[in-house]
Structure 1
Amino acid sequence: MQTLKKTLLLLVLLTATWACTATKTETEKTEVATMDQLAERYVKTLLKLGQYDSDIVDAYYGPEEWKPTGEPADTLPADEFLTEFKAIQQQLNLQDTTNLPADEKRRVAMFKKQIIAAITKVEMMQGKKYGFDEEARLLYDAVPPHYELSHFEAILSDIDKQLPGKGSITERWDAYRAKFEIPKARLDTVFRAAIAEARTRTKAHYTLPEQENFKLEFVTDKAWSGYNYYKGKGYSLIQINTDFPIYIERAVDLASHEGYPGHHVFNVLLEQNLVDKKGWKEYSIYPLFSPQSLIAEGSANYGIEVAFPAGDRMKFEKEVLFPLAGLNASEADRYYTILEKIGQLDFAGNEAARLYLDGKITREQAADMLVKYNLYPKDKALQRTRFMDKYRSYVINYNLGKQLVRNYIEGNGGTENNPDKRWELFGELLSNPNTASMLK
């Protein structure tokens, strides 16, 4: 009888231990499934939201069956979208990240920032107004700095001394710059050479899918100068806008920004490392109005310098691109010195956008600011205000994004005199969850 009691007690203990283990295993499975479920709900909801604004979904390379079927409602069902996004947000806030590996913690942190942006975008579509800085913080996880116009006046004074001719700075810059315009008949040849070189330099450092490729098109009547439409599986459509003259420096700029190691490579690495390898389906969609864009645009702009350090770039352009464009390279050094100074005026565009979008100046006044402080021709300045209308505080992603990426890469040792480290850090940045506040 004692033996039987001991046997029964042992069975009870074993059953209890098995039950605890089974419960723990089921809990772990539920936690993983919860993140996957949230990712699926998030992607499907964004795809539906994209039916009401074609700019919302910049790229999607997830399951085909997740795409919405049928026609959207005649009016935006904002409350339905807000309810769903806030429900996802609530579940994300319940995630226990205490014992998660570092990459999983970053996944949750980035997801939370993305969902804040999604909620904000729906509210804006519903008619809610945000000030420029608050909108930038909610959508892109960054608040742009403020500059007094006197800061730019000092830079303009320096440029003024370097420009030949008579007239205003803008007029003299237009006249001088005309010598560096790529003839339209040579655009395709010059851009293909620039992209090929950028691609070669990038592939020397990163392993990209064997089938990765792109299609290059020249288009008109756009609010932007270049655009990358990532299609998934390592393939992109790169479009270049020819509404305005395209100058020689833009070949390398756009080849790197839109292609290698910019947007094309960013999307390839996200798909390869986060979607395919880790199964993080929230990265199968790229929502344009989100913190991901600050990293995308900032890295694409900084990536120009990663692929083409100043000395290398000048050598390549003088020896290859200038001859292909039929341009005289004798003035190249002076031209690029002035361009570097003009680049220091970038944040003036943010000041114009803030004042314009906050209703403090008119479109015409914003265009005049761009003419004066960014040396835009008037017609291009007006085109830029169209960009502000369409994309609003998105403008901060190019210059502030570049600044934050530069500070992060170079602050961790990826300086120009340590190019291998710079490529390494840049690749890690593109391949992992990152948002502006994570780079500080």
Structure 2
Amino acid sequence: MKKSLYFVFTLLLLNSCSKPKETVSLNTIAEDYVKLILEIGLYDSDFVDAYYGPDEWKPTIKKLDTLPAKTLIESISKLQSQCKQVNTEGFSNLEKARLMMFEKQLLAAKTKLEIMSGKVYSFDEEAKLIYDAEPPHFTEAHFETLLSKLNTILPGEESLYTRYNEFISQFVIPKEKLDTVFTTAIAEARTRTNKYIKLPKNENFVLEYVNDKSWSGYNYYQGKSQSLIQINTDMPIYIERAVDLACHEGYPGHHVFNALLEQNLVEDKGWVEFSVYPLFSPQSLIAEGSANYGIDVAFPGQERIDFEKNVLFPLAGLDINKAETYYEVLALMGKLNYAGNEAARKYLNGEITREECAKWLEKYSLNTPERALQRTRFFDQYRSYVINYNLGKDLVADYIDAQGGTVEHPEKRWEIFKELLSNPHTANSLK
């Protein structure tokens, strides 16, 4: 009798141990995730940057008077728990990358909801939780050294701020020539991109000029390889911005990035979570970083300077006699770009006021008072998002360079760049 009981007990124990762990389909979680992101978007018009999934997944509920943060956060926590139940046995490296990015996107959404409901994070904490990145710190002495070099390039008796702004004023695109210059730059960027990346046959964009925005340019991806590209004309637009924005917003930047994700991940693989793009997420560091790095990929080194001097300068009616000095100045200003991050960090951490932040930008970024205040508006609206432009570019550049995608090997560079645009990546996966 005792042996029989022991045998029964052993069978029950073995059955219990051999029972497979409850698993959840990542595709099922993905659908719930998309619907949840769209619901959060009801409470922040910037939250959903693009959506090109089924219309029936869009929220049917009306926006409530107050943010239901607790309920939404609980929904995210549920999805996070389900991610832990996904059976990764047999997963390819790409599928593992999908799951890893999925979990980081969920963490970002939860963090953003907490911020929307009043929770305070430091600039660095927020950047880590939302963008999966650790922003570098620079001292004022670092920027002073760069300004000293700029002072040598632009000698004179007046303040460096005055000399700089008077000098660059010679390179403003006249408003009546903006469209000609921009459409020419975009067409060239598209031609160069199409040589290395096979774009969808029907891809296209609409270009608009707008006012009263905190940003200089924006791409609203519409799905099916279509984009709305807007250029803000509030402030003077300098000649180099034509190529910058043509590449960043268009080719091979945001327009191409979204088209490749839609084609490669949503349509070909059925990974529906990529049919929605939450702006405040790790995806944005890759999007902005690759869009800025894409400028150098499409127009490497001297090729850009030659195109601008030989094509865009004449179209804009600008004198090329001081162009070489201008490009020296631009190179230094690129290094000063991180001064904006420091201004945002101090401002958002409550260490300085808006007025003090604007003064910092006037001093270390040499912004006009109007431009400096516009940038503080950007900080208010997008917060630590500012790191995605410069840190994102540096991480993308290092990633591609480390794999042999150097300027000396353009085909390899484009190959790795396309792989980056077409697959799940976050800041940590670039290390």
Q: Distance in 2 between matches of 1:277 and 1:411?
A: 29
Pairing partner for 1:232 from 223, 228, 253: 223
1:128-154 C-alpha deviation (Å, 9 max, x unpaired): 000000000000000101111101111
Where does 1:286-365 land on structure 2 (aligned, <5 Å)?
Answer: 286-365=277-356
- 2:364 match: 373
- TM-score where L is the length of structure 1: 0.92
Residue 69 of structure 1 and its aligned partner are, at CA, apart by 1.5
- 2:28 match: 37
Pairing partner for 1:101 from 68, 89, 92: 92
Residue 166 of structure 1 and its aligned partner are, at CA, apart by 3.1
Residue 177 of structure 1 and its aligned partner are, at CA, apart by 0.6
Secondary structure at 1:278's aligned position in 2?
A: coil
Secondary structure at 1:330's aligned position in 2?
A: coil
- 1:5 match: none
Q: In the alignment, residue 353 of structure 2 is paired with which amino acid?
A: T
Q: In the alignment, residue 224 of structure 1 is paired with which amino acid?
A: W
Pairing partner for 1:436 from 403, 412, 427: 427
Contact 1:159–1:338, Cα closer than 8 Å, also in 2: yes
1:57-84 C-alpha deviation (Å, 9 max, x unpaired): 0000011110012421111111110111
Q: Distance in 2 between matches of 1:119 and 1:382?
A: 30
- 2:133 match: 142
Does the alignment pair 1:246 with 2:221?
no
1:192-218 C-alpha deviation (Å, 9 max, x unpaired): 000000000001111111100000000
Residue 304 of structure 1 and its aligned partner are, at CA, apart by 0.3
Residue 226 of structure 1 and its aligned partner are, at CA, apart by 0.3
- 1:91 match: 82
Secondary structure at 2:229's aligned position in 1?
A: strand
Residue 334 of structure 1 and its aligned partner are, at CA, apart by 1.3
Q: Identity of counterpart residues, as a percentage?
A: 61
Pairing partner for 2:384 from 371, 379, 393: 393
Residue 404 of structure 1 and its aligned partner are, at CA, apart by 0.4
Secondary structure at 1:72's aligned position in 2?
A: coil
Q: Distance in 1 between matches of 2:87 and 2:372?
A: 49
Where does 1:123-142 land on structure 2 (aligned, <5 Å)?
Answer: 123-142=114-133
Cα RMSD (Å): 1.5
Does the alignment pair 1:177 with 2:165?
no
Q: Distance in 2 between matches of 1:204 and 1:81?
A: 45
Residue 328 of structure 1 and its aligned partner are, at CA, apart by 1.1
Residue 94 of structure 1 and its aligned partner are, at CA, apart by 2.0
Where does 1:196-215 land on structure 2 (aligned, <5 Å)?
Answer: 196-215=187-206
Secondary structure at 1:59's aligned position in 2?
A: strand
Residue 288 of structure 1 and its aligned partner are, at CA, apart by 0.2
1:299-341 C-alpha deviation (Å, 9 max, x unpaired): 0000000000111111111111011101111211110111101
Q: In the alignment, residue 130 of structure 1 is paired with which amino acid?
A: Y
Q: Distance in 2 between matches of 1:325 and 1:35?
A: 52
- TM-score where L is the length of structure 2: 0.94
Q: Distance in 2 between matches of 1:274 and 1:390?
A: 30
Where does 1:55-74 land on structure 2 (aligned, <5 Å)?
Answer: 55-74=46-65
Aligned residues: 414
- 1:151 match: 142
Q: Distance in 1 between matches of 2:301 and 2:154?
A: 21
Residue 378 of structure 1 and its aligned partner are, at CA, apart by 1.1
Secondary structure at 1:50's aligned position in 2?
A: helix
Pairing partner for 2:407 from 409, 416, 437: 416
Residue 164 of structure 1 and its aligned partner are, at CA, apart by 4.2
Q: Distance in 2 between matches of 1:214 and 1:52?
A: 28
- 1:16 match: none
1:74-120 C-alpha deviation (Å, 9 max, x unpaired): 11111110111100001112223242111100000000100000110
1:264-287 C-alpha deviation (Å, 9 max, x unpaired): 000000000000000000000000
Secondary structure at 1:329's aligned position in 2?
A: coil
Gaps spanning 5+ residues in structure 1: where?
Answer: 1-23
Moved over 4 A (4+): none
Secondary structure at 2:404's aligned position in 1?
A: coil
Q: Distance in 2 between matches of 1:418 and 1:222?
A: 39
Q: Distance in 1 between matches of 2:210 and 2:156?
A: 34
Secondary structure at 2:121's aligned position in 1?
A: coil
Q: Distance in 2 between matches of 1:264 and 1:61?
A: 14
Secondary structure at 2:322's aligned position in 1?
A: helix
- 2:213 match: 222
Judge which range, 341-350 or 218-227, deviates more: 341-350
Q: In the alignment, residue 420 of structure 2 is paired with which amino acid?
A: L
- 1:8 match: none
- 2:8 match: none
- 2:14 match: none
